[in-house]
Structures are given as structure tokens and as C-alpha cells.
Amino acid sequence: MIWVVALIVIMMLVAAVTVLLVRNHIAAVAAASLVSLLLSVLFALLRAPDVAMTEAAVGAGLSSVILALALRRLGLGRVKDA
Amino acid sequence: MRNLAALVFVGGLAFLLLVIFNQFDFAQAPMVVGQGILMDAPDRVGAANIVTAVVLGYRGIDTLGEISILFAASAAAGLVLGRRRTDARRDPPGGFILRSGVALLFPLMLVVGFYIILHGHLTPGGGFQGGVILAAAFFLPLLARPETPVNHAGLSIVEGGAGAVFILTGLAALLQGGEFLQPLLDNGVLGELVSAGTLPLLYLAVGLKVGAELAGLMARLADVEVDEP
């Protein structure tokens, strides 16, 4: 159990640092979504299924979609690296 | 000088936090409200999922505040995003895999969303989570075929009607002599689909309202004017 949690936390940290370092905006949004997704797994392991479901639906799904759509509106949503 | 002021400020904040931390006995519940609700909720509200009993039964007016905030946010976003030029180009339709995937996922997500909303008082989940899934389900076809017309008037009617149902349920409790948003009707048998009085109805209203609002918001955000290539 503790190793699973440690693995998830390390993956979350890696994804969070990736958000800062990666140059592509869409990739940064995807990495931020990954942080939320792993956090929801952590919530599920901590026996908070309600919070886990909200985090997965809102944090990983909806907010990433809204961020990506806003990037596209601003013309920053190119998949090719600038 | 400014750095020094910032340092003093941070130091004071850390000192304050340390003092507050020292006041708490860790691993001991500082409040008895949570335990009281845990003991009281199954008999009093009749919802198997105690989180729902708190969200809609004990703290119903908080939920009303939440959906009002969401309404204000989505209305402001709609106002800022405005309308597109009618002659502007749209994105080309998605490829075969995207369209087939959407056709496969759309009914599945509808079922999951309504399941989560309708079983909110029994299992984890509820109006907010299910509503977001419904909004995502209705956004998917728009992703595959950007030229699909979006019925914003219909979405507004669903949204307003659901909000009105929520408030009217609260007012009905007031008419019956209770408090605002007090659960009405019989509690029923704990753990059955039709139980917990008006809680499933309230969660259905919340789910439809959240779903309609967010679907409209995403549709407006996605509706960009594509430049000439």
C-alpha cells in the first residue's frame, strides 16, 4: 500500500514538474490533467470515493478541456512544437 | 528594504501557523459535529451515502450557493465569449476514429452520468459529478462534428427549470412548516433507489443544471472563428 502511494506521489511530482518545463502548451495541459488523475487515484486509495470522482471528472476532465479550448482560442493550441 | 519587509511578514506568518498548530491535539477530532452527523444521518435523512446527506440535507443552502456561483460564472463566460460571426469558417469534421469513438462513447457516458446522479444518495457520486459527465457526453459530438448546431435556448431552459425545481423544493419545505430545503417525504428503506425523501429529486435538479451549464460553456468556448488558411 505504502509503495503504491509512494509511486503515485512520485509520478505526480514528475508530471507537475513536466508542466513547468515542457514548451508545448497542450502538452503542459495534458501533464496537469495527469496530476489530477493521479490525485484522484490517491483519493480513492484513501477511501474518499466522492472526492476521487469529483477530482477525476472536474480536475482531470473538465478543467483540462476548458484550458485546452481557451488555448485554442488564443491561438496557442498548435500541436507542433514552435 | 522590501525584501526585509517580506522576510518579516513570512516569519510572522510562520510563527502564527506554528502557534495554531500547537493548539491542536493531532489525531483527535477537534469537533463533534462530524461524529454527530455520522450517528444521526442514516435514521434522520435516510441516505445511505452520508456525504449526500450532508451536502443536501444538513448543508442544503451551501449547495444552493454553489450552484448559484456556477450559474454566475457560466453566465459571465457566455457574456464575454459572445457570438461568432455567422459567415466565419468552422473547423473541419474529425476523422473516422474520432467520429466512431464518439458514437460508441456517447450513449455509454449518458448512462454513466444518469446512473451517478440517480444513485447519488446510495453510492459515491451525485449531481455535480454526474452533471460534469453529462456535459462531457454532450460535448463529444461537437468535437467530432463542429458544424453541429447547439441549442443554447434549450440548454438555458433546462438550466433555469432545474434551478427553479431546486428552489421550489426548498420553498415547499418552508410551506410545510419546516426549514428551507429540509428534506420532505418519507425516508423509505435505507439503501433503496426510492428513499431519502426529496434528496434524489434535488440531486437530479443539480445534475441537470450543472450538465446544461457546463455543456453550454464548453460549446461556446469551442465555437471559434477559424482563420482563412
Please tell me the distance in Å from B127's CA to the nearest CA on chain A: 10
Cα separation, A55 vs A67, whole angstroms: 16
**Domain ranges, ordered by start, for chain B:** 44-222
Chain B residue nearest residue A47, CA to CA:
B124
What letter would DSSP give residue B193? S
Residue B128 CA, chain-centre distance (Å), reads 3
- Say which DSSP state B146 is in: T
For B133-153, write each residue's pLDDT tens digit: 999 998 888 888 887 788 888
Structure confidence by residue, pLDDT tens digits, A47-61:
888 889 989 988 888
- Better-scored residue on pLDDT, B87 or B152: B152
d(CA B105, CA B90): 24
Cβ-contact A15, A39 below 8 angstroms: no
Domain ranges of chain A: 2-73
pLDDT of residue A80: 60
Tell me which of B42 and B12 has the higher pLDDT: B12
Average pLDDT score over residue span B65-75 = 89
Rg over CA atoms, chain A: 14
pLDDT in tens, chain A (82 residues): 888 889 999 999 999 999 999 888 888 999 999 999 999 999 998 888 888 998 998 888 889 998 988 888 887 766 664 4
ipTM, two decimals:
0.82
Give pLDDT tens digits for B38-60. Answer: 877 777 777 778 888 888 878 88
Query: Buried b vs exposed e over A31-61: b needs ≥16 C-beta within 10 Å?
Result: bbbbbbbbbbbbbbeeebbbbbbbbbbbbbb
Tell me which residues of chain B have a C-beta less than 8 Å from any C-beta of chain A. 49, 51, 116, 124-126, 128-129, 132-133, 135-136, 139, 214, 217-218, 221-222, 224
Pairwise CA distance, residues B62 & B55, whole Å:
8
3-class DSSP string for A13-76 = HHHHHHHHHCCCHHHHHHHHHHHHHHHHHHHHHCCCHHHHHHHHHHHHHHHHHHHHHHHHHCCC
Query: In 3D, which of B207, B226, B209, B223 has the Cα closest to residue B78?
Result: B223
